Amino acid sequence: MASAPAASGNPVAALAGSLPPGLVTADPERLAPHLLDWRGTKRGVADLLALPRSTAEVVALVRTARAHGAALVPQGGNTGLVGGSVPEPASGRPTILVSMRRMARIRAVDPAGLSLVAEAGAILADVHEAARAAGAMFPLSLGAKGSATIGGLVSTNAGGTQVLRHGTMRNLVLGLEAVLPDGTVLDQLKPLRKDTAGYDVKQLLIGGEGTLGIVTAAALRLVPAPAVSAVAWAGVPDMTAALALLARLRRAVGERVESFELMGDEGLALVLAHVPSARAPLATPAPFHCLVELTDVDPEAPLAARLEAVLAAALEAGEVRDATVAATLAQAQALWALREELPVAEKADGPSLKNDVAVAVADVPAFDAAARKAVAQHFPGARPLVFGHLGDGNLHWNLRPPAGADAGSWLAQHGEAARRLLHDVVVRFGGTISAEHGIGTARAAELARLGDPGRLAAMRAIKAALDPAGIMNPGKLPL
């Protein structure tokens, strides 16, 4: 690796000179890709790029940074959607971007104990593959699986498309290894199923967005690999009907409902417009679409037949307008691609206001109606683009500027007011302004405005206790 700046008397050079050789570089070309977020809307500034290869190197990095008062910004795949993985443009102190991508080993897989230990930089798709090779499954998936890392997924408490059945990262992390802001190693990596020996400190790092330490490895919960699955696409008249279909499915097949995703017709239209391989799944139009997956470990389980029967009954009851069950793996993958390519199609369509909210599942239709009403009243012409994990009550309730408007200037003028309006509706329904993406910088002001004061005070006290010098990911979360 190219070495750090040589000028003496320069605080960055002094910092770099105190670190083990080869751990950091100041090469602007190598730094540049790490300084722009996935959406391409936030550009940060850092003095050095660190690429540690081991937990010991992370310890050296943290201790040295602390001694020099430098800021550390952990980064995994840089697919986060709230600006958390990119340094602030002006932190006022030497800043090191810590890319964890070289710590990507799968340290252990235990098929009998159903656990897997991966380093923080391991890519989610590689973890899926390692679990599959052992006859198991790591039950968390999302559109960015080819780039998102275990450290990033842990630190954002990521969700994805299987939360309905398996929970978020908080439920899937059995053990954690991390370097705390004073350089101490938190060694809770053993995949224990039970542990009541005091505070569960690792949970502070899960969803901590890099503000309480650097995750170096995680022990993950696996489940037996499903032997069969059935995937269907259903056009539905409204969200109430979508929830009725979910309830009907659960009554029929219980825990076998692995995923239940929702998108509005405008989202499907965007995918069809921007993704060349995408094909309309149904002949009959519908305002909303549901993507359903059932799985079973029993290879004899007649899942497709059960799914067809449930959809036929839902059709009869008027909950479904049209539906198709994938007949082959390729068809199932094509249906999933329609859902997973939506954020990519949205990005290709131009700037929009992104939101990640959740309310109680039963409240989703009323919340959605209230949000649409408020937006139509205050921002006439603005176009909701709503999709997400309906079974978790989690909607990406995004807003596109009015057709024909200059998107950049509309968002600059109205974006934050529209976001506040939406969040006020969320709070009225007792929901959350961040369901799975985290807070980063994009939601920090809103969390400060709307967060529970007791929770915010506890968060600030924990931050002050563990990171009194504020070296870990400054500027993220309202700390």
Ligand X SMILES: Cc1cc2nc3c(=O)[nH]c(=O)nc-3n(C[C@H](O)[C@H](O)[C@H](O)COP(=O)(O)OP(=O)(O)OC[C@H]3O[C@@H](n4cnc5c(N)ncnc54)[C@H](O)[C@@H]3O)c2cc1C
For 145-188, the three-class secondary structure string (H helix, E strand, C coil) is CCCCEHHHHHHCCCCCCCHHHHCCHHHHEEEEEEECCCCCEEEE
Closest distance to ligand X from the beta carbon of 265 (Å): 20
In angstroms, rounded to a whole number, what is the distance separating the alpha carbons of residues 19 and 62? 10
To which residue do tokens 């109205």 refer? 414
Interface map 181-200 toward ligand X (x if CB under 6 A) = --------------------
Can residue 38 be called a binding residue for ligand X (CB under 6 A)?
A: yes
CB burial string 3-32: b at 16+ within 10 A, e below: ebbeeeeeebbbbbbebeeebbbbeeeebe
Contacts (Cβ under 8 Å, ≥6 apart) of 107: 117, 118, 119, 217
> Which residue's CB is nearer to ligand X, number 81 or number 301?
81
Closest distance to ligand X from the beta carbon of 334 (Å): 17
> Which residue's CB is nearer to ligand X, number 85 or number 295?
85
Size of the site for ligand X (CB under 6 A): 38
Can residue 441 be called a binding residue for ligand X (CB under 6 A)?
A: no
In angstroms, rounded to a whole number, what is the distance separating the alpha carbons of residues 76 and 209? 11
The DSSP symbol for 66 reads H
Quick one: which of 12, 23, 100, 114 contacts ligand X (CB under 6 A)? 100
In angstroms, rounded to a whole number, what is the distance separating the alpha carbons of residues 275 and 163? 26
From 46-54, 158-166, 239-247, 398-406, span contacting ligand X (CB under 6 A): 158-166
Can residue 84 be called a binding residue for ligand X (CB under 6 A)?
A: yes
Quick one: which of 19, 35, 59, 142 contacts ligand X (CB under 6 A)? 142
Site for ligand X in 411-440 (CB under 6 A): 436-437, 440
The 3-state DSSP class for residue 400 equals: strand
Which residue's CB comes closest to ligand X? 152
In angstroms, rounded to a whole number, what is the distance separating the alpha carbons of residues 136 and 450? 41
Interface map 278-317 toward ligand X (x if CB under 6 A) = ----------------------------------------
Closest distance to ligand X from the beta carbon of 182 (Å): 15
Quick one: which of 70, 127, 153, 246 contacts ligand X (CB under 6 A)? 153
Closest distance to ligand X from the beta carbon of 432 (Å): 13
Structure tokens of 288? 């909303």
Closest distance to ligand X from the beta carbon of 404 (Å): 27
To which residue do tokens 């059935």 refer? 230
Can residue 74 be called a binding residue for ligand X (CB under 6 A)?
A: yes
Quick one: which of 149, 295, 355, 432 contacts ligand X (CB under 6 A)? 149
Structure tokens of 248? 């009907």
Closest distance to ligand X from the beta carbon of 93 (Å): 17
In angstroms, rounded to a whole number, what is the distance separating the alpha carbons of residues 308 and 314? 10
Closest CA to 288 of 236, 335, 240, 233: 236
Can residue 210 be called a binding residue for ligand X (CB under 6 A)?
A: yes
Closest CA to 198 of 215, 184, 186: 186
Quick one: which of 25, 64, 75, 352 contacts ligand X (CB under 6 A)? 75
Can residue 475 be called a binding residue for ligand X (CB under 6 A)?
A: no
In angstroms, rounded to a whole number, what is the distance separating the alpha carbons of residues 217 and 179? 10
Q: How do strand 95-99 and strand 48-50 relate by DSSP bridges? A: parallel
In angstroms, rounded to a whole number, what is the distance separating the alpha carbons of residues 120 and 189? 12
Closest distance to ligand X from the beta carbon of 380 (Å): 30
Tell me how many helices (H) and strands (E) the chain has. 17, 18
Closest distance to ligand X from the beta carbon of 351 (Å): 15
Quick one: which of 214, 245, 422, 479 contacts ligand X (CB under 6 A)? 214
Can residue 120 be called a binding residue for ligand X (CB under 6 A)?
A: yes
Residues contributing to the site for ligand X (CB under 6 A): 38, 73-81, 84-85, 100, 120, 142-144, 148-149, 151-153, 155-156, 158-160, 209-210, 214-215, 343-344, 436-437, 440, 473, 476
